[in-house]
Amino acid sequence: MNRNQEKPIPILITGGHHDPAVAVIEALQERGNFQFFWVGHRYSLSGEKTESVEFKTIARLGIPFFELKTGKLYRSSWQELIKLPLGFLQALYLLIRIRPRIVISFGGYLAAPVVLAAYFLRIPAVTHEQTVVFGWANRFISLFAKRIFVSWRSSLRYFPSRKTVLTGNPVRREVFEERAPRFRFKNGLPVVYVTGGKQGSHVINEAIRGALSQFLEKYNLIHQTGSSERFQDYQKLSILKNQLPKKLQDRYILQEYFGLDEIGSVYSATALVIGRAGANTVTELAALGKPAILIPIPWVSRREQFLNAQILAERGAAVVLEEERLSSRVLLQELETVFSNIKEYQKAVGEARKLTNPAAAVQIASEIISLLN
């Protein structure tokens, strides 16, 4: 593709997983002259006014962001269902306005009306499935997509073979780069990174809050809480931190979210991760060789997060802690068990690296460019 062409090629990106999307954007930018547009969720949760990590990340990259309001089919109320035609009409309007050459979807219910509208306008679309099974939105999107990229070999059987490509899950290059030395502790204690994904996890935050001083007696914690207005976890934990002795305060780094300029340093300092089991988290852990205690969200479609977690657990690289068993006491016990066998876990997670494809973003970018040409 000619990088010196006069006008950049417009590409519209949508879906619920912005991390692999950013990796693909970077790979495309190295290969051609493109102008990106984003359709997504501006706010973290429905009814709240806290801007989503997705919006903040895309805005920081200077990509025009369009909010789309639509409903979803899976476990929906009638109020959600009546939003579906409105979401389709809004998507149709945005596509006519932007006129992209291709639509790139990263799954999620919001992407479905965008891809459907693209099909009606004869704009080609591709989609990427992050999980080991499939999302219902991607199952629908696959009917209209020109290419379906999957992260795991087990996902191949869920989509038409003639247009499905095993690529792996793209990982942002920033997770490998150490840019912020402030995450290095000098006390010699192990560093544990606690994360609930981009929105945070209230139940994990509560488990930490219930015995914060006990955690900090043995470990340094880097804790990503999310920014939920409803639960106010960051605010509650900040107050609790300020009540601790100075020695323990110095072992606790607390933030709502760690951006692209920080996440690589967080991972570099970390010996073990406590978190949910989203596909992106599991891929990053495997790619970086980090042992983990994974607490899958129990209510997601098709036990998706549990199956993601099993990828590492079956290889001895992670412990799966069911949410119904989660408590401060149990989490402390699991931490002690893993660290007492940390060398075995580190060896196992090193083997898990073989499950990832470092060139996933480049491979997807090449497929997209091939379609454009």
15 is in an annotated binding site: yes
CB 225, CB 256: distance < 8 Å: yes
3-state class (DSSP) for residue 168: coil
Sign for the pseudo-dihedral over CA of 268, 274, 280, 282: positive
113's tokens: 């009306």
β-strand partners of 125 = 103
3-state class (DSSP) for residue 208: helix
Order of all β-strands in the sheet with 292-294: 252-255, 220-224, 191-195, 272-275, 292-294, 318-320
HSE-up of 63 (CA within 13 Å, CB side)? Answer: 27
Q: Tell me how far CA of residue 119 lies from CA of 40, 50, 114, 285, in angstroms.
A: 19, 33, 9, 36
197 is in an annotated binding site: no
Sign for the pseudo-dihedral over CA of 351, 356, 357, 358: negative
**Helical H runs in the chain?**
18-29, 53-60, 78-81, 83-98, 111-120, 136-141, 202-209, 212-218, 233-242, 246-249, 263-269, 279-288, 304-313, 328-340, 342-352, 360-372
Q: Tell me how far CA of residue 101 lies from CA of 1, 245, 306, 368, in angstroms.
A: 14, 58, 37, 11
Strands 65-67 and 272-275: unpaired
79's tokens: 């109020």
Closest CA to 180 of 244, 238, 264, 304: 264
Amino acid at 40: G
40 is in an annotated binding site: no
Give the residue numbers of the binding site. 14-16, 172, 305
User: Which residues are part of a known binding site for UDP-N-acetyl-alpha-D-glucosamine?
Assistant: 14-16, 172, 305
